[in-house]
Structure 1
Amino acid sequence: MPIVKMGIRKMNIGIIALGSHEENHGAALPPDTDAQIAEYIAEKTAAQTDMEFLGVLKSAYEFPEINTGNHDSLDQVIADLKNQLRKAEKQGFEGILLVNAHGGNQELSDHLGDIARETDLVIKMDSTVCKIEGPHAGTGELSIGSVLGITDETKVTDHLNSEKYPEVGFVGFDKAREKYEWAEEHANEIIENGVKIDPQLGEKLLKISIENSVEKIRDLKSEIQL
């Protein structure tokens, strides 16, 4: 009797990057640093999992009292995300991984359940890089930027001028430091230790972030199969 091999259904999972596009990052990093980091992690994750990268969301949210540039309301970001997700659902996608590299966008995590129900998609979000890179525009981001080729190493000294670049570690954002304990911790880290470029650190942070996103893809596959 011939053996019949059962085919393995390939699940259609898309990956969307979340960053920010007009956010001050000191002297040595560009305004779209977070978007570029998220895109890199998302593309590497897509390549390692044979899933599809669907692009970078164009809007981003930021916490109150953190005035680092041009951002959108949380409602606007949710609306833009839903539009992109609906397009993905119409294209046949069953699950979506959101790869986030901008701190403020982590607020979306509280709304993913409602968004998933509205779009009929299984959705997960990975903000690993936000949690491990350290202070805003600090050593972690400078080092990741060095790996990506977006850090201007000639401007690192000027980067620590808190009068010109108060957003670095939020050192010059007094209200934010009063409001958020983590912002005060980040500011003190910059004041005490300064910043440096460490490509090995950058590679390590990216590796951890990609590994976590790959694991989230596995979780998505398991949930879709249930």
Structure 2
Amino acid sequence: MKVGILALGSHHERHGAALPLDTDAQIAEHIAREAAKRASAEFFGVLKSSYELPEINTGEHQSLEELEGEVREAVQEAKDEGFDAIVLVNAHGGNEKLSERLNAIEENLGMKIIFNTIICKLEGPHAGTGELSIGSVIGITDESKLEEHANVGKHPEVGFAGLQEVREKYLWAEKHAREIEEFGVKIDKFLGEKILQCAIVDVINDVRELGTA
């Protein structure tokens, strides 16, 4: 079975002072490229669309329908090029809603799809220590802005600590916010490398699982 890899992130989402707006897209691309290289799969690029949950206003996102449409087009293109399956590497939490629509895409296009969102589970709070550390490893964290980054009054999106409505609606957001309030943020390259390698290996395992299906 011929397997391709697509990356999903967000391209215009606030990530505090020390991380760029396209942090999620860059992390997803790094994981997808590395996994493709190690597993002898083909990297198909990074999708432009992303979705965000209600009440989380941290940047510019698209509708779930737009995201689904772009995924359909990309998977169809892969099918036309002779691929049998796709691994979607996602690094933006809001995109996880897409998983509810993937079965229909699989059935309509006759393509097997695995949605890998492990990095979202491993990295912890939004723009927190995990993402800062990963960003440092791949070269996108501005370490000179770490002190400003930790100011949730100025950057309320960090761990969603300053977004009260989000904290009240989503239990996971409240948990992440409290983690930021209690422990703050830091850069730990060992942690960042460990998280990245775990995520890359997980994607490689998905590729190999499809390849032997």
Give 1:193's aligned residue: 183
Equivalences for 1:151-162 in 2 at 5 Å? 151-162=141-152
Alignment of structure 1 residues 3-18 onto 2, 5 Å: 11-18=1-8
Counterpart residue number, 1:8:
none
5+ long unaligned stretches in structure 1: 1-10
Local SS of the residue matching 1:106:
helix
1:55 aligns with 2:71: no
State percent identity of aligned pairs.
55
Alignment partner of 1:207 is 2:209: no
Aligned to 2:121: 131
TM-score, length basis structure 2: 0.98
Report the CA distance between 1:19 and its aligned residue: 0.4
What SS does the aligned partner of 1:17 have? strand
Give the Cα–Cα distance (whole angstroms) in 2 for the partners of residues 45 and 182 of structure 1.
29
Q: Which runs of 4+ in 1 moved over 3 A?
A: none
Paired letter, 2:192: G
* Alignment map for 1:51-130 (pairs within 5 Å): 51-130=41-120
Question: C-alpha displacement at 1:160, in angstroms?
Answer: 1.6
Q: CA RMSD in A?
A: 0.8
CA distance in 2, matches of 1:161, 1:216: 38
Are 2:18 and 1:34 aligned?
Answer: no
**Amino acid of the residue matched to residue 184 of structure 1?**
E
Name the SS for the 2:212 alignment partner: helix
**Bigger Rg, which one:** 1
Alpha-carbon displacement from aligned partner over 1:4-44 (angstroms, at most 9, x marks no partner): xxxxxxx3211000000000000000000000000000001
Deviation at 1:60, TM superposition (A): 0.3
1:163 positional shift: 2.3
Report the alpha carbon displacement of residue 217 of structure 1 after superposing the two structures with TM.
Answer: 0.9
CA deviations on 1:183-209 (whole Å, 9 max, x unpaired) are 000000000000000000000000100
Question: Take 2:96 and 2:151, find their aligned partners in 1: how far apart are those partners?
Answer: 28
Q: Which moved more, 1:159-168 or 1:195-204?
A: 159-168
Question: What's 1:173 paired with?
Answer: 163
Show the counterpart of 2:139. Answer: 149
Q: Secondary structure at the match of 1:15?
A: strand
State the partner residue of 1:184: 174
Query: Residues of 2 paired with 1:167 and 1:114: CA distance?
Result: 33
Question: In the aligned structure 2, how far is the partner of 1:207 from the partner of 1:87?
Answer: 29
CA contact (8 A) 2:2 2:211 kept: no
User: What TM-score do the two structures reach when normalised by structure 1?
Assistant: 0.93
Matching residue's letter, 1:52: E
Structure 2 residue 11 is the aligned partner of structure 1 residue 21: yes
Q: CA deviation at 1:164?
A: 1.8
Out of 17, 21, 33, the residue aligned to residue 43 of structure 1 is 33
**1:112 to partner: Cα distance:** 1.1
